Amino acid sequence: MARRTPPTVDPEQLGDLIRQSQEKMAQPPLPEQSTTQQVMAGFAGAYKAWLDALSAHPDKMVDLQSRYMQEQMNLWANAMQGSKAEGAAETDKRFTAPEWSELPVFRYFRDSYLAASKTLMQAVETAELDAATKQRMRFFMRQYLDAAAPSNYLLTNPEALRAAIDSRGETLQEGMKNLLADLEKGRISMTDEKAFEVGKNVGVSTGAVVFENELMQLIQYTPLTPKVHELPLVMVPPCINKFYIMDLQPANSLVRYAVEQGHTVFMVSWRNVKQAQDKLTWDDYVEKGVIAALEEARRICGTKEVNALGFCIGGTLVGCALAVLEKKGKNFVPCVTLLTTLLDFTEVGEIRVYIDKNFVEKREKQLKEGGLVAGNELAGAFSSLRANDLVWNYVVNNYLKGKAPPAFDLLFWNSDATNLPGPMYAYYLRNTYQDNKLAKPDALKMCGVPVSLKRVKIPAFVFAAREDHIVPWKGGYASARTLGGPVTFVLGASGHIAGTINPPVHKKRSHWVGSSKLDADPQKWLDKAKEVPGSWWTPWTKWLKPQAGKLVPARTKLGGGKRKPIEPAPGRYVKERAET
C-alpha cells in the first residue's frame, strides 16, 4: 500500500486562521470575566505579602538562589552529555515521551523548568506568611508554573514540533482551527461533543417526566424488577451540572443500578436557568426543588415516606430541606444518602483561594437583586484546581498537536454546565463558604424557619472520595458529624466523579469502612478503617435495603393520581445548553 503523503499547508490559509484567532482574542471580555479580575486582585495582595516576607529574610533567598544556580549548571552539563531523565522527569506525564530526552536542548528545557518549579515552590514554603495567604500564594505559584511549562508552547515542545514536521504543517493548521472553534464556544473542548446526545447515548434510562415547575423537572424511572421496595428514592444531583452524571450509560449508571436493586427512583432535573429565573433564591431551590420533589414522589407512589439521596451541592440542598422539614415537624424522610457533600465548610480545599471576604462582598453587590452566574464561570474555577489535567493537557493536544479530543462521556457531561441565579449563588457563597453558618445550629433561617442539622436524627449514609479536589474527604467527614442521627461513613478511592461513579461490575478501586463513631480527627478514623476492594455501591445497597420498606409489586404505570407523564425521560430541561 502506498504511503500517504501529508498535504502541505497553504501559508496564506494558515495566515488567515492566525488573523482570525487574533481578532477573537482582541474582542471585549465577557461580563463574567469580572470574576477573574476580582480573583487576580486578591492574588496581587498575596504576591506582595510574599515578596515582603522574602525581603525580610534575604539570607534564605540567597541560599535558594545559590542552590538553584548550581543545579542549573549541573543540568546544562548533564544535558550536553546525554544524561537520561531522573526523578520528577520520569513520572511527570507532560515529559515522559521519548522526544524530551532525544535532543539535549529539549532535555535541558524540561529539567531546567522542573528545577525552577521546585525552587519557586520552596520559596513559597519558606516565606513566613499566615495560613490563608500561604495557601493562596501556593496556588497562584502552581498556576503560574503550570502555565509556564515548556510543553505548553510550540517552539519548546519537541512532540508538537515533530508532529508538525512529519505532517508538513497539517497539525498546525488543524490546531488553529481547533483554537478558533473553542474561542467561538468560549471554552476548551475536552471531548468530541458531537459523539454524544442526551437521551440518545447518555442519560438513557427509561422513564418519564411526571412533574415540573419553573426550577426543575421530576423524572420517574421504569421498574426493572417484578417487585420493588415500597419507599421510593429521590435523587438530587448538583445544580451546577446536569443530572445525567448519575445516568451516563447503562454500564456506569447509578440510576440503573438502583432501579435494578428494586428501588423506585425519581430524579430531579434542574433547569438551566435563563434571565426569566435570575431572581430565584436558595430558599426556592430548597422548597421548589428538593421539598417539592420529595412531596411529589410520595404523592405519586402513595406512601407516607420517601428516601433521599443528594450528590455534591445537591446533598447540601437535601440537608437543608431535611432541616426545614424537621423544624416544621413534617419530616417524612426516614433515611438519607449524601455523596461528596459539604455541610461543614471548614475544609473546602483550594477552592478557598477564590472565595475570600472581598470576593464574596463584590459578588453579593452584583447579584443580590438578580442576574445570572454563567455555568462556564464555575466550571472554569473547578478546572483550574487541576489545571494540568483539565486545561493545559487539552491546550497541548488540541492546539499544538492539532488533535481532535476523543469521545468521553464523562468529559461531555463536564462541559455541559448550568447557569445559576445570582441571589441563590450569593447566598450560598456567603452562608456556607464564607461564614459556615449551615454547620451552626439555628444560625440560618430557610423557608421561614431556623435550621439545625443536629435536629436531623435519621440514619445517614455519607460517602466521600479520598482524592476529591472539590469536596475534600476530611470536609465530607466533618460534614457527616454535623448530622444528629446515626451515620455510616464510607471513604472511596479516586476523585469527585470517578470515585462516586464506580459501579461494582467494573471491579475498580477500593473503599474504606470504619467505626460508626466519628471522632473529631478524620485521620484517626482512616488509620483504623478497613480497606475493602471494589465499589462503595455494594455496602450502600446493603445499608439502604432494610430502610426502603417491604417489597411490593412494581408499579406498571409511571405517574399517579393527577400526575400523568408529561414527556419521556430525560425531559426538556436537561437538553438546554448553557450557551443557548
Using alpha carbons, list the distances in angstroms from residue 198 to 7, 154, 219, 254, 378: 37, 36, 14, 16, 21
Query: Which grid cell sits at 385?
Result: 484546581
Q: Do 462 and 534 share a domain, yes or no? A: yes
Element (H or E) spanning 495, and its range?
A: none
Q: Which residues contact 377 (CB under 8 A, 6 or more apart)?
A: 32, 35
Instruction: Give the confidence band of 460 by pLDDT, cuts at 50, 70, 90.
Output: very high
CB 499 within 8 A of CB 373: no
CB 205 within 8 A of CB 244: no
CB 189 within 8 A of CB 395: no
User: Is there a domain that residue 375 lies in?
Assistant: no
CA 442 to centroid of chain Cα atoms: 29
Query: Which grid cell sits at 126?
Result: 519558606
- Express each pLDDT in 495-534 by its tens digit: 999 999 999 998 889 999 999 999 999 999 999 999 999 9
Domain that holds residue 464: 207-346+439-575
Q: Do 151 and 217 share a domain, yes or no? A: no
User: Is there a domain that residue 580 lies in?
Assistant: no
What amino acid is encoded at 440 in this protein? K
Using alpha carbons, list the distances in angstroms from residue 318 to 264, 308, 473, 488, 533: 18, 8, 19, 17, 29
Q: Do 123 and 243 share a domain, yes or no? A: no
- Whether the CA torsion 150, 153, 155, 157 is positive or negative: it is positive
Give the mean model confidence (pLDDT) for residues 275-287.
Answer: 97
Residue 150: count of CB within 10 angstroms of its CB: 19
Please tell me whether residue 437 adopts helix, strand or coil conformation: helix
Q: Do 336 and 466 share a domain, yes or no? A: yes
Q: Do 125 and 240 share a domain, yes or no? A: no
User: Is there a domain that residue 100 lies in?
Assistant: yes
Q: Do 151 and 214 share a domain, yes or no? A: no
Q: Say whether pLDDT at 34 is over 50.
A: no
Q: Do 335 and 237 share a domain, yes or no? A: yes
Q: 102, 128, 160: which is the final residue of a domain?
A: 160
User: Is there a domain that residue 528 lies in?
Assistant: yes
Q: Do 251 and 146 share a domain, yes or no? A: no
What amino acid is encoded at 229 in this protein? H
- Express each pLDDT in 367-409 by its tens digit: 988 999 988 777 777 777 778 888 899 999 999 999 999 888 8
Please classify residue 29 by burial: count the beta carbons closer than 10 Å to its beta carbon, then call 0-12 exposed, 13-18 middle and 19+ buried.
Answer: exposed
Q: Do 156 and 211 share a domain, yes or no? A: no
Could you tell me the CATH number of the domain that includes residue 313? Answer: 3.40.50.1820
* Distance, CA of 105 to CA of 80 (rounded, Å): 8
Is 312 annotated in the active site? yes
Phi, psi of 489 (to 5 degrees): -105, 130
pLDDT at 4: 44
Q: Do 150 and 278 share a domain, yes or no? A: no
* Distance, CA of 91 to CA of 427 (rounded, Å): 43
Element (H or E) spanning 234, and its range?
A: strand 233-236
User: Is there a domain that residue 388 lies in?
Assistant: no
Query: Which grid cell sits at 114?
Result: 522542573
User: Is there a domain that residue 521 lies in?
Assistant: yes
Please tell me whether residue 33 adopts helix, strand or coil conformation: helix
pTM, full prediction = 0.88
User: Is there a domain that residue 385 lies in?
Assistant: no
User: Is there a domain that residue 187 lies in?
Assistant: no
Q: Do 92 and 212 share a domain, yes or no? A: no
Please tell me whether residue 210 adopts helix, strand or coil conformation: strand
Please classify residue 7 by burial: count the beta carbons closer than 10 Å to its beta carbon, then call 0-12 exposed, 13-18 middle and 19+ buried.
Answer: exposed
pLDDT at 84: 57
Q: 96, 130, 160: which is the final residue of a domain?
A: 160
Give the mean model confidence (pLDDT) for residues 254-276.
Answer: 97
Using alpha carbons, list the distances in angstroms from residue 33 to 141, 182, 423: 21, 16, 19
Q: Say whether pLDDT at 546 is over 50.
A: yes
The tally of domains found in the chain comes to: 2
450-483 in b/e form (b: 16+ CB < 10 A) is ebbbbbbebbbbbbbbbebbbbbbbbbbbbbbbb
- Express each pLDDT in 74-120 by its tens digit: 887 776 666 554 555 667 899 989 999 888 889 889 989 999 999 99
What amino acid is encoded at 291 in this protein? I
* Distance, CA of 286 to CA of 265 (rounded, Å): 20
- Express each pLDDT in 18-28 by its tens digit: 455 445 444 44
Q: Do 484 and 341 share a domain, yes or no? A: yes
Q: 160, 184, 216: which is the final residue of a domain?
A: 160
DSSP β-ladder status, 420-421 and 372-373: antiparallel
Annotated catalytic residue within 312, 320, 335, 447 = 312
